[in-house]
């Protein structure tokens, strides 16, 4: 039977950005429709939203019900919980030693080709215990939550043996079970060719397809499979083989496409019907057309291009105009994007990709939800969806990307529970 009480009423919201309206992935001008309401309120019961809108309307809707707790938003800005749809959350070690190489002009792919980069994190991750990986990733998840992120996609890909990939995925599963932030897991055994297979990369592709994918599926440890399709990593043909095998096993599929070299990864994403394609700095118009036809979400990662000192940016404006839904993400990882802050990414989305504050908030809420197949439960504030919302120390959307490099979060509500209050974890 329905409870006749309201667990939490968030009221006195100055500007309530709901993302109400079209719930399919948003493209073109729809990316500017953020469903903003002045003087708003949100009523929550059992972790879900029961009413959302202008405060007087919400109060009328819930009239007669006892309200267990009221939270005064003090006229501030409220948005849906932010979604980070592309991270390499679970890993051992860090790579600050690469900064010096980077400053000397050594490229990301050259560092990898010399056995560093991803492969140095593979060594650290293989050496780490499950507990050590858990503690480190939990620290990062706490930082993400403090910055307003309530759902995170997390990839494996630093184990590169069946056992070590499973170790990473088990950590993500345990974090999902124990941390307020929800995790969505992606198997990325095809993140790099391990040194053991340096002379025989096709042998490693066989291991990924024949051993790893079926076992990860059997243990139910990942929803998605991703491949790093890049010069010197996995070819388009190898990526195709792996993603087709994953699709046949029932995984959703994703691809790191055309980040540094134009490889045809975006075309492959469209051809195979990937749910998302990531990076895309070097993607061609043909690649974009294929993605547009397939409805593939473009996940742009501007903190990565910033950190790699690339002169180029993903062509977000072109994609938005072509009708490709654009999402934004941190790409949090120890090499090319050591930051947990989705707010920094929002600033870079504006300043480096030319997106407006409205397009940016769409990209980290409803479109990010689509990139991980979760738009039926998160990504907007609507009756029936999860009560994931953020109160910012701001009165309008533009203030978030404008005042950059700091944390604007005041309060985070996750599944109806206050988990960050006054900028601190509860």
Contact residues for ligand IZC, defined by CB under 6 A: 88, 117-118, 121, 228, 256, 333-336
Backbone angles phi, psi at 276, to 5 degrees: -150, 155
For residues 108 and 392, which CB has a smaller minimum distance to ligand IZC in the complex? 108
Smallest gap from Cβ 333 to ligand IZC, in A, equals 4
Catalogue the long-range contacts made by 57-60 (C-beta closer than 8 Å, 24 or more residues apart): 58/9, 58/11, 59/11
For residues 180 and 335, which CB has a smaller minimum distance to ligand IZC in the complex? 335
370 binds, among ligand IZC, Zn ion, none (CB under 5 to 8 A by kind): none
Closest-approach residue to Zn ion (CB):
331
Applying CB under 5 A, the site for Zn ion has a residue count of 1
334 binds, among ligand IZC, Zn ion, none (CB under 5 to 8 A by kind): ligand IZC
Q: How far apart are CA 375 and CA 59, in angstroms?
A: 27
Closest-approach residue to ligand IZC (CB):
335
Smallest gap from Cβ 92 to ligand IZC, in A, equals 11
228 binds, among ligand IZC, Zn ion, none (CB under 5 to 8 A by kind): ligand IZC
Smallest gap from Cβ 313 to Zn ion, in A, equals 16
Smallest gap from Cβ 199 to ligand IZC, in A, equals 22
Give just the sign of the alpha carbon dihedral 165, 167, 170, 174.
Answer: negative
Smallest gap from Cβ 258 to ligand IZC, in A, equals 12
Integer CA distances (angstroms), 380 to 32, 97, 135, 297, 398, in order: 14, 40, 31, 17, 19
Q: Position of tokens 């109160």?
A: 391
Q: How far apart are CA 258 and CA 133, in angstroms?
A: 30
Strands 252-257 and 224-229: parallel
For residues 84 and 359, which CB has a smaller minimum distance to Zn ion in the complex? 84
First to last CA, the chain: 31
For residues 331 and 388, which CB has a smaller minimum distance to Zn ion in the complex? 331
For residues 280 and 346, which CB has a smaller minimum distance to Zn ion in the complex? 280
Which 3 state secondary structure label does DSSP give 171? helix
Token couple for 307: 């950190």
For residues 13 and 172, which CB has a smaller minimum distance to ligand IZC in the complex? 172
Smallest gap from Cβ 296 to ligand IZC, in A, equals 18
Token couple for 400: 């978030």
Site for Zn ion in 317-336 (CB under 5 A): 331
Q: How far apart are CA 16 and CA 54, in angstroms?
A: 9
Q: How far apart are CA 33 and CA 267, in angstroms?
A: 29
Positions touching Zn ion (CB under 5 A) are 331
């Amino acid at each position: 039977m329905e409870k006749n009480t309201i667990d939490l009423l968030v009221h006195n919201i100055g500007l309530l950005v709901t993302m109400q309206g079209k719930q399919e992935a948003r493209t073109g001008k729809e990316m500017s429709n953020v469903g903003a309401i002045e003087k708003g309120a949100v009523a929550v019961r059992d972790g879900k939203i029961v009413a959302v809108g202008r405060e007087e309307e919400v109060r009328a809707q819930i009239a007669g019900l006892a309200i267990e707790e009221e939270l005064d938003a003090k006229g501030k800005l409220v948005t849906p919980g932010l979604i980070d749809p592309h991270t390499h959350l679970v890993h051992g070690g860090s790579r600050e030693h690469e900064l010096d190489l980077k400053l000397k002009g050594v490229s990301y792919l050259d560092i990898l080709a010399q056995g560093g980069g991803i492969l140095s994190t593979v060594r650290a991750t293989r050496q780490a215990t499950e507990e050590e990986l858990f503690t480190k990733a939990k620290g990062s998840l706490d930082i993400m939550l403090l910055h307003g992120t309530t759902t995170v996609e997390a990839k494996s890909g630093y184990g590169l043996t069946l056992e070590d990939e499973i170790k990473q995925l088990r950590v993500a599963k345990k974090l999902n079970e124990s941390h307020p932030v929800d995790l969505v897991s992606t198997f990325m055994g095809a993140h790099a060719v391990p040194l053991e297979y340096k002379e025989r990369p096709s042998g490693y592709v066989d291991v990924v397809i024949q051993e790893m994918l079926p076992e990860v599926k059997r243990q139910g440890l990942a929803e998605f499979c991703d491949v790093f399709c890049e010069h010197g990593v996995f070819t388009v043909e190898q990526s195709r083989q792996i993603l087709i095998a994953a699709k046949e096993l029932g995984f959703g599929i994703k691809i790191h496409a055309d980040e540094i070299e134009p490889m045809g990864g975006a075309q492959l994403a469209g051809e195979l019907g990937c749910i998302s394609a990531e990076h895309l700095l070097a993607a061609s118009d043909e690649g974009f057309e294929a993605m547009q036809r397939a409805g593939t979400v473009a996940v742009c990662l501007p903190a990565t291009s910033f950190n790699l000192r690339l002169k180029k940016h993903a062509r977000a404006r072109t994609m938005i105009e072509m009708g490709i839904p654009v999402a934004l993400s941190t790409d949090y990882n120890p090499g090319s994007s050591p930051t947990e802050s989705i707010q920094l990414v929002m600033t870079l989305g504006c300043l480096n990709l030319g997106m407006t504050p409205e397009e940016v908030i769409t990209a980290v809420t409803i479109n990010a939800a689509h990139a991980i197949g979760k738009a039926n439960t998160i990504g907007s504030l609507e009756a029936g969806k999860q009560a994931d919302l953020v109160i910012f120390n701001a009165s309008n959307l533009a203030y978030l990307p404008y005042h950059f490099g700091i944390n604007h979060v005041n309060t985070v509500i996750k599944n109806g529970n206050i988990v960050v209050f006054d900028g601190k974890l509860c």
